[in-house]
Chains A and B, each alone.
Chain A
Amino acid sequence: MLNYTLRRLMFAVPTLLIISFIIFALLDLAPNDPTGNLPLTIPPEVRAQIRESLGLGQPFHIRYLKWLEQFFVNEPLNVLEKMTGIEIGNSAERLRIRSWATRSPVVDLIVERMPQTLLVVGMSYLVGVLIAVPIGVISAYRQYSLFDQIGTFVSMVGFSVPTFFTGVVLIVIFSANLGWFPSIYDTTLRVTDWSSFWAQVRQMVLPVTVLALYNAAQLSRFVRASMLDNLNQDYVRTARAKGMRERVVLLVHVLRNSLIPVVTVIALGVPTIFSGAIITEQIFRVNGLGQLLITAIQGADIPLVQTLTFIFAVLIVTFNLIADILYGILDPRIRYD
């Protein structure tokens, strides 16, 4: 197992390097000029100096290597320093990746936006899983029953209807017509007492519902299929034959075995939900990472876009790795050597 993990790690590193190269090259070869939006009255010498100050003077490969060093060595050190408060090396001299638009370090911007995304995305994923598992279990146990047919239809609708439409429909119904929930997420809200906590819950309801429904639709199909695979196995008959209660058979024996592939699917889905959150954040004006990415893209803020896109890539590679390893740990039948 350790051997396998190490091998997978060895493969993850070149993958990440190639992805980082693709992202860097794509943004670099693109036919646009970062000084293009500046006033035309700026003389060419000054323009050249501005390009220099943005770090664009050097050839491509040197900038790429510097960016890599920055991303993998310097910025993690900065974050570590901020979190622990211990000074590592000469931190005042260390370079930062700076956003062109705000001139502030990119990492600070990301750290600022992270909690909102994590709260909304994490909560919606949790709710999605909590909805999906019981629905999947019941529809597999009562296959072809009315519940199963309705569940199949609803989940088909759930993942066919794009989140930007469900979000908008929920806004029309619940905030425009009924006025139950706010349609805009207020990030400045601080939870200090019960009323502000209640306000926080109310503003989270709509974005969390949209994402949770979408996830639950996909996951419940998967739970159902996995349960159906296991319900016909011999060990289920054995368990029933030795007189175990149906509830124990279903919820202990079958469910535990069926959740093994589901767990890996859940792990694999984490990065996609982050990119799915880009759209949901845009609808409900949650100023999280996705919204940061959209503003950065609209403002052609290359360093910020590079860093954010690469963070998404790191998330995908990491969770693929986690899913693979989890599968090996949870399922003793899987042997990698």
Chain B
Amino acid sequence: MTDTVLKPREGSAAPLQTRQRTLASDVWRQFRQHRGGVIGACIFIAIVLMVIFGPYLHDIDPKALDVRAKNQGPSFAHPMGTDNLGRDMFAQVLAGGRTSLSVGVTAMILSLCLGTTVGVIAGYVRKLDGWLMRLTDLFLALPLLPLLLVIIMLFRDTLRKAFGPETGIFFLIVFVIGITSWMQTARIVRGAVLSVKEQEFVLAAKSIGTPGRRIILRHILPNVLSPIMVSATLGIATAIITESALSFLGLGFPSDFPTWGRLLYDGVNFLTINPSRVIWPGLAISLTVLSINYMGDGLRDALDPRIRGR
């Protein structure tokens, strides 16, 4: 017996088809073609890493006051300057990024779970389809920003008492954003499920007696993963923007607990003295959202089998 496993020759122009092609590698290959997507992903990963590990490298306490060094410009000790109480802006932006990003990710996960559940059920169970889609339409007709503001105004104090000022507001904002942003995901997922469930492999699974729950989990969900992933990516961006808008209107996190939106809001009053207080957090929000949007764009192209074939 001779082992005749062909090794792909390095540097050859035509790659041999011996290496197994998986969906993930195909998607990755296509994603690399999308220049904007790759740059966006790099910037986003850089921002995430900086926000996670930055406070260990730049270890100034964001809440430490130093009134003698107030409203300073950028220097070696304070790369982004200081605010009117002498707090280091760079440390605050890093700390704010932790909150903003974790709000974005958590709210996205919540809205994704809600949207996927509603979408899958609506697509799979015909009896519930009409009702669930009515519900989705109803949610789409709600005036979201005013309602978000109202809900936060009404329930802020209660939750603050129950879970403490920071966790309470965090829960409230994540919950509120999650519950008001699942509708697009639900619609997309429902459409995908409707087309997938008519295919033969679902029929085959049904005919060997697979229970409905397992059909959904093992056969349908993996096949509708790509629209879910795209809306997950874009969901982070929307959640971050919503959170900063709420903070900017003064109805988000308290000011001793910085987020990017809150830093921006606090900086507006010192606009003429120290414009960098507004520019840095604003740039952080914009850059994050822009990179996420580009990443989502690239991901959408990479996951679309019609484009990937070319």
Contacts and interface: CB of A to CB of B under 8 A. Distances in A.
A309 B147 contact: yes
Contacts of A315: 143
B275 A160 contact: no
Interface stretch (B85-93, B115-123, B210-218, B281-289): B281-289
B278 A18 contact: no
A31 B158 contact: yes
Nearest to A293: B146
Question: Size class of B's contact patch?
Answer: 35 or more
Contacts of B271: 168, 171-172, 176
A181 interface: no
Interface in A297-337: 297-298, 300, 305, 308-309, 312-313, 315-317, 320
Contacts of B42: none
A161 B138 contact: no
A15 B150 contact: no
Interface in A12-46: 15, 18-19, 22-23, 26-27, 30-32
Pick from B143, B153, B249, B275 the residue with the most CB of A within 10 Å: B143
B28 to A, nearest CB: 23
A157 interface: yes
Given A31-B158, A176-B271, A162 B286 contact: yes
A294 B142 contact: no
* Interface residues of B, dominant DSSP: helix
Contacts of A279: 245, 248-249
B54 interface: no
Nearest to A305: B150
B155 A161 contact: no
Interface in B235-249: 237, 241, 244-245, 248-249
Contacts, number: 121
Interface in B277-307: 278-279, 282-283, 285-286, 289-290, 293-294, 297
A23 B147 contact: yes
A271 interface: yes
Contact of A298 (B151, B250, B264, B293): B250
A165 interface: yes
Contacts of A22: 142
B268 interface: yes
Contacts of B275: 172, 176
Contacts of B157: 31-32
A165 B264 contact: yes
Contacts of B241: 162
A160 B143 contact: no
A213 B282 CA distance: 17
17 contacts: A15-B137, A15-B138, A26-B154, A31-B155, A156-B290, A156-B293, A160-B290, A161-B289, A162-B244, A164-B261, A165-B264, A176-B275, A275-B144, A279-B249, A293-B146, A309-B150, A313-B141
Interface of B: 36, 137-138, 141-147, 149-151, 153-155, 157-158, 237, 241, 244-245, 248-251, 261, 264, 268, 271-272, 275, 278-279, 282-283, 285-286, 289-290, 293-294, 297
Interface of A: 15, 18-19, 22-23, 26-27, 30-32, 156-157, 159-162, 164-165, 168-169, 171-172, 176, 271, 275-276, 278-279, 282-283, 293-294, 297-298, 300, 305, 308-309, 312-313, 315-317, 320
